[in-house]
Structure formats: C-alpha cells, structure tokens
Amino acid sequence: MKKLLVIGLGSIGRRHAKIYRNLGHEIYGIDTRADRREQAQEEIDLKLVSNDLDDIIDNNEFDGALICTPPNSHTEIALKLAQKHINIFVEKPLANNDSKLDELSNLCAKNNIIFYTAYVYRFIPSVQKLKKLIETNVIGKIFSLRLEISSYLPDWHPWEDYSKFYMAHADQGGGALLDESHGIDLIRWLFGEVKGVSAFVGKVSNLEINSDDLAVLNLELESGIIAEAHFDLLGRSPRIGLELIGEDGTLIWDRIDPKISIWQSKDKKWETEKFDKNDFVMSYDLQAKHFLDCLDKKASPITSLQDGIETLKVLTTAFEASKARKYIEIK
C-alpha cells in the first residue's frame, strides 16, 4: 500500500484521489479552500485533510504526491516535493511558463525523483490502437494532420461560476491552449518533435474570461508532417478528434464517439472500429496503475518531466508566434 498526497481537491484532484483510494492506497489531501476539503472528506475515505502543505510534508513520508492545482503553482509545489524526496505526478500542463524548470529538472535528477506529467490521452485504449496503426503504415506515408479539441467552458463545471474558475484567468495558467495541451503531447507522441509553429492565440468571444478561448496552431514537425491544431472553449457541441491524410488513405480518430475510421485507396471504402463508450474514463485508471508501477519499479514514466518541458516549449512558442504574427522555430 502506497502513501499518497493529493494537492488540490477540485474536481480533477478528487477524481485522482478516488481512483487511488479504490485501488487500496492511503490518501492524504491538501486544499486551501474549506469547501473543497469538506467535499473531499464526504466523498472519499481520506486519511487526513489539511490546508498546510509545508506542515504535512514536514511531518509525513509519502511515496508520491499528485499536484492538481492551477498550472501557475505547479513548479513551486514540485520543487518543495522534490526537496523532500517525494515522487511527483503533476497534472497537465507542466506549468504556465518555463521559470525555474531547469532548477526543478536538476533537483529531480539529483534526488532520483520519479516525475510523471499527466497527459492521460496516451492511455486511452483507442489512442493506443491508433498508435499501432500509424506504426504499421496503414495509410502509408503521412503528409498532414488536423487535430481538434473543442468544448464550451461554461458547461465544464455547471455547478460553479465559470468566470471564477482558474480556466478563466491567464495568470493562473487558464485558457484553451494550455489546458487543452493534451493535443500537443499527442502529436509529439504519435509523430515526433515539433520544428516550428505559427499561431493565433486569443479571445474572440463574449465569455467572461481574461484568457484565450481560441488557439489555432500550424505546426511543422521534424518528420516533415504539417499539422493543424485547433483548440477552443466555444464549442457548444464538443468535438475531440484527429484526422490524418496519408499517401494511401485517410485515418480518423474520434474521442467523443469512440471510434477509428480508415479509408484505404486500394479498397475505396471506410472501415470503422468502435470502442467502449467509457474509452476515455478508463484511461484514468490505466494512468494510475502506470504511475504506481513506476513507483514500484523505480522506472521512468511514459510521460516524463522532459516530455512536459518539450510540450511546454511548443505552447510558449505558440504564444510568442501569435504575438509576433510570424512563424517561429522551437528553441
């Protein structure tokens, strides 16, 4: 049985806490908001709930900690945990900027910290099948791809005022591009590193937010593939998917209605494989088991600290390219 600390008891923190508790582990919780601490205690069998991170890590030894707070707080919390030799699971994105990430990387290496950046899309069963299809060249050489992640922010947490949610505030790491960066990690995992980007990132709607609600990126990959990535907080009918154009056909992945469709030029027809309706929900359990396995074996996670850094480089370069209105190579 592992002793784990969940830092941040909002909806995603409680989801993780429930999963690990159901797997038989001892869970401690931290949140600065009393209402969230009370809700977590009602929903989950927590060993202890506190509002003082320093006190709880000074007086307990943990096998790992899950950082589920807004992105602008991730790096400082991770540094505190790494100093205490606590293994780290951090919700995406890794951070909202690259400040102190070199310091964090060096400290984690020095203290042999297992560091997992939580890009859960890699654990979706249909995505894992998609990766295998790409690796077998089912549609031949891939020329281009289009990824879309679209949903309506006020529908995310209908029980609370969306304008007070961290997603509405750029200074907390909110906004379409940072929060929906699953898409950038997915592109990197499936097709390799990004060479450069041009982008529009901004606010185009009347939503009561001071963060971006639309991000459209054109990416040049090191492989030569050209990718378009569309992220928004505006879609009243959620859409999440990926379309690949290849030498021998087209391949489409749909997360909302879990399926993969393939059109091959030799057959000139569509073939579709459907997946369990809980395809996405299952990925959280698979992710938890992977992190626990890494703790047991002292192994490197599928998405490391460096993966989080590389994805963040694409995100920060996209913001820069949008402001400069030009193509910028990733440094």
Look at 3 and 265; give whichever has higher pLDDT.
Answer: 3
Range of the domain at 61: 3-121+285-302
Give yes or no: residues 232 and 211 share one domain: yes
Give yes or no: residues 112 and 16 share one domain: yes
Model pLDDT, residue 137 = 96
Give yes or no: residues 255 and 237 share one domain: yes
Instruction: Kindly give the interhelix angle for 101-110 and 305-324, rounded to the nearest 10 degrees.
Output: 170
Model pLDDT, residue 193 = 98
Distance from C-alpha of 322 to C-alpha of 316, rounded to nearest angstrom: 10
Q: Is-contact 57 48, C-beta < 8 A?
A: no
pLDDT digits (tens, 9 = 90+) for 239-248: 999 999 999 9
Give yes or no: residues 43 and 180 share one domain: no
Give yes or no: residues 47 and 79 share one domain: yes
Give yes or no: residues 35 and 150 share one domain: no
Residue 286 CA, distance from chain mean position: 15
CATH classification of the domain holding 234: 3.30.360.10
Q: Is 41 exposed, middle or buried, given 0-12, 13-18 or 19+ CB atoms closer than 10 A?
A: middle
Q: How confident is the model at residue 25 (pLDDT cuts 50, 70, 90)?
A: very high
Percent of the chain with pLDDT over 90: 98
Q: How confident is the model at residue 93 (pLDDT cuts 50, 70, 90)?
A: very high
Model pLDDT, residue 251 = 98
Q: How many domains does the chain have?
A: 2
DSSP letters for 118-172:
E-GGGG-HHHHHHHHHHHTTTT-SEEEEEEEEEEEGGGTSTTS-GGGSGGGBGGG
Distance from C-alpha of 139 to C-alpha of 125, rounded to nearest angstrom: 20
Average pLDDT for the chain: 97
Cα atoms found within 13 Å of the Cα of residue 246, Cβ hemisphere only = 24
Average pLDDT over residues 99-122: 98
Give yes or no: residues 56 and 134 share one domain: no
Reference 36, options 62, 69, 4; nearest CA is 69
pLDDT digits (tens, 9 = 90+) for 134-153: 999 999 999 999 999 999 99
Q: State the virtual CA torsion across 193, 147, 212, 181 in degrees, nearest 10.
A: -50
pLDDT digits (tens, 9 = 90+) for 155-197: 999 988 999 999 999 999 999 999 999 999 999 999 999 999 9
CATH classification of the domain holding 292: 3.40.50.720
Give yes or no: residues 108 and 154 share one domain: no
Percent of the chain with pLDDT over 70: 100
Q: Which residue blocks in the chain are alpha helix, DSSP H?
A: 11-22, 34-43, 53-58, 74-83, 101-110, 125-135, 176-179, 182-191, 279-297, 305-324
Model pLDDT, residue 248 = 97
Model pLDDT, residue 162 = 95
48-50 β-sheet, strand order: 48-50, 26-30, 3-7, 64-67, 87-91, 115-118
Q: How confident is the model at residue 113 (pLDDT cuts 50, 70, 90)?
A: very high
Q: Which of 19-23, 122-126, 265-269, 309-313 has the lowest mean pLDDT?
A: 265-269
Average pLDDT over residues 124-141: 98
Give yes or no: residues 33 and 177 share one domain: no
Q: How confident is the model at residue 293 (pLDDT cuts 50, 70, 90)?
A: very high
Give yes or no: residues 229 and 325 share one domain: yes
Give yes or no: residues 117 and 192 share one domain: no
Cut 0.75: pTM above it: yes
Q: How confident is the model at residue 133 (pLDDT cuts 50, 70, 90)?
A: very high
Average pLDDT over residues 280-295: 98
Q: Is-contact 250 263, C-beta < 8 A?
A: yes
Give yes or no: residues 181 and 164 share one domain: yes
Q: How confident is the model at residue 260 (pLDDT cuts 50, 70, 90)?
A: very high
Model pLDDT, residue 119 = 98
Model pLDDT, residue 228 = 98
Model pLDDT, residue 114 = 98
Q: How confident is the model at residue 132 (pLDDT cuts 50, 70, 90)?
A: very high
